[in-house]
A and B are shown apart, each in its own frame.
Chain A
Amino acid sequence: AQTVTQSQPEMSVQEAETVTLSCTYDTSENNYYLFWYKQPPSRQMILVIRQEAYKQQNATENRFSVNFQKAAKSFSLKISDSQLGDTAMYFCAFMTSAGVTGTASKLTFGTGTRLQVTL
């Protein structure tokens, strides 16, 4: 079974600064997907970024980028130029590639990191 670990329950960053959220996972699979989701106080889960395990290049989406270290099973999220609207719970999630082809589309989530952006 896959597990996802987020060891930082809470973090704080000042507006315009950069922050990195950590995530590690455990799997025996070779092909899989990793995601970061954001859940603001409204509770709506929003997809932030995704990474395919077979791609060496780290994914980026505007101010959000990841540092994917497959051998270390590490998947951290870097938020640059933090904004007040980035205040939210951030969840790291894992899906096997088998889920994509249709046999089991299931996300396994970490426990989340609560990020507070301050003035």
Chain B
Amino acid sequence: KAGVTQTPRYLIKTRGQQVTLSCSPISGHRSVSWYQQTPGQGLQFLFEYFSETQRNKGNFPGRFSGRQFSNSRSEMNVSTLELGDSALYLCASSLPPRPEQYFGPGTRLTVT
């Protein structure tokens, strides 16, 4: 099976712009979770989607949003980018009730 894919892999944006990141889960996986990884804050949970519904959300401002489509692909959007949003954004898919999450290669976002 193909693994989790994320596009784009690298992105450079300017402060104030918005960005959309995409994640395609492993075939058959219906749950997609997003995490932000930074040197200062480590790995932090953003949100999780299952069957097109957001089931859980981390402690991030409303500028961070996401959605999931009927084919389980997910997108996350960050509006009004700030310098502190520069990070590696990781997507993970899983097949509940199995707990294992499988990660994609990540999208490296740089905000200038």
A105: chain B residues within 8 A (beta carbon): 31, 33, 48, 50, 55-56, 94, 96, 99, 101
* B43 sits at the interface (CB 8 A): yes
**Chain B residue nearest in CB terms to A91:** B43
A-B contact count (CB 8 A): 70
Contact B96 A108 (CB under 8 A): no
Given contacts A105-B50, A109-B42, whether A100 and B99 have CB atoms under 8 Å apart is yes
* A84 sits at the interface (CB 8 A): no
A45: chain B residues within 8 A (beta carbon): 90, 92, 103, 106
Given contacts A108-B45, A111-B42, whether A102 and B102 have CB atoms under 8 Å apart is no
Contact B55 A107 (CB under 8 A): no
A107: chain B residues within 8 A (beta carbon): 33, 35, 43, 45, 92, 101
Task: Say how far B28's CB is from chain A's closest CB, in angstroms.
Answer: 16
Classify chain B: how many residues form its interface, as a range: 20 to 34
Contact B100 A50 (CB under 8 A): yes
Docked Cα-Cα span, A97 to B94, in Å, equals 14
Docked Cα-Cα span, A65 to B107, in Å, equals 31
Q: Chain B, 68-112, contact with A by CB distance < 8 Å: what is the 0/1 string? A: 000000000000000000001010101011111111111010000
**Could you tell me which residues of chain B, from 30 to 79, have a CB within 8 Å of some CB in chain A?**
31, 33, 35, 42-43, 45, 48, 50, 55-56, 58
Task: Say how far B76's CB is from chain A's closest CB, in angstroms.
Answer: 15
**Chain A residue nearest in CB terms to B43:** A109
Docked Cα-Cα span, A109 to B45, in Å, equals 9
Which residues does B use to contact A, with CB under 8 Å?
A: 31, 33, 35, 42-43, 45, 48, 50, 55-56, 58, 88, 90, 92, 94, 96-106, 108
A-B pairs with the 8 shortest C-beta distances? Answer: A45-B103, A109-B43, A104-B56, A100-B99, A33-B99, A106-B45, A100-B97, A105-B48
Q: 9 A-B contacts, Cβ less than 8 Å apart?
A: A47-B102, A50-B100, A100-B96, A104-B55, A105-B31, A105-B50, A105-B55, A107-B33, A107-B101
